[in-house]
Structure 1
């Protein structure tokens, strides 16, 4: 099932997400549907708030960056109840986009490395370290679970310059190749 993408202005994008319990109904189906939605929307990551669910899960498939970072070959994972334990390394800037902010791309500075604890779909626990593009995507999706959007990383002037575009997004006045859920509409 392909979910519509929740866009800027919907309160769920500003909520801190709740942990998922081991007995969460149809978790495997949710993970499968999140990957399907992400691929359909041409994303490399998707967090539950972006499909209207304030729960702590995101999915990533960073294998598209394997040409530049060979270790990302077949990098496809679900991160459930993640907790970033450590951020390190030099901050680096990269141009980021977000399915919940269609037609907006901005330079965002993030630390180059992270250490993260999470469980997979079978509730096996992992503590892993990532760098480069994987660390960036994980931090971006993790932000969604904390109610943070990429625009929150911008300076006040840049935010003011985006005000018109953000207003248009909340009204659904954007062109996307995927279905969106407009705030306040069912």
Structure 2
């Protein structure tokens, strides 16, 4: 088990598009395994390559829904198709997200209710997952990381201002900051 440091908002790897994975090999398998360990230690329900300093298009996810069905996998070089997001303001109770790279905070964000994830697994085999609700939200959140976006980049109005204040107060927004799950207290 290897737990990797998680990069904090401001690190350049989090704010640039990631490149395609080209080698489906033992190094990739080890990275994916370490990402699962890191995600569990954080704890989180998803973790993208850029969050651990790897500018490659991959993410892992592990979430159990209300019916006790576990959704777990690694998405390599994914494509994500989403339904149109609903109009209106996000509900602070049911649509709040958090992020391991903006730790300790949660803000409401409107997301599409459904998504179709097409990707390759760690062995290079293609797969597809049709997702609704929270799983669709997880996929959208992690996919954004691969395009250099954090969920706080999508916030509007007062929530965007509040997130910017938190970032300044915590001293985030500069390169080189990270935290180690199980060791550090990422809230600052």
Which whole-Å CA distance do the structure 1 matches of 2:165 and 2:182 have between them? 21
**Partners of 2:115 and 2:131 within 8 A in 1:** yes
Give structure 2 stretches of 5+ with no counterpart.
Answer: none
Where does residue 72 of structure 2 map in the other structure? 76
Shift of 1:23: 4.1
**Partners of 2:15 and 2:148 within 8 A in 1:** yes
Q: How does 1:3-82 map to 2 (within 5 A)?
A: 3-24=4-25, 26-63=27-64, 66=65, 68=66, 70=67, 73-82=69-78
- Paired residue secondary structure (2:111): strand
Shift of 1:160: 2.2
Which whole-Å CA distance do the structure 1 matches of 2:123 and 2:25 have between them? 11
**Partners of 1:14 and 1:147 within 8 A in 2:** yes
Where does residue 146 of structure 1 map in the other structure? 147
Change in Cα spacing, 1:54 to 1:74, as seen in structure 2 (3 Å) is same
Shift of 1:25: 5.1
- Paired residue secondary structure (2:114): strand
**Partners of 1:40 and 1:178 within 8 A in 2:** no
Which whole-Å CA distance do the structure 1 matches of 2:119 and 2:113 have between them? 19
- Paired residue secondary structure (1:62): strand
What is the TM-score of this pair, normalised by structure 2? 0.83
Which whole-Å CA distance do the structure 1 matches of 2:182 and 2:102 have between them? 13
- Paired residue secondary structure (2:83): strand
Shift of 1:78: 0.4
**Partners of 2:116 and 2:130 within 8 A in 1:** yes
- Paired residue secondary structure (1:102): strand
**Partners of 2:96 and 2:108 within 8 A in 1:** yes
What is the TM-score of this pair, normalised by structure 1? 0.84
Task: Tell me the matched-pair count.
Answer: 174
Give structure 1 stretches of 5+ with no counterpart.
Answer: 182-186
**Partners of 1:35 and 1:59 within 8 A in 2:** yes
Shift of 1:62: 0.8
- Paired residue secondary structure (2:128): strand
- Paired residue secondary structure (1:60): strand
CA-atom RMSD in angstroms: 2.4
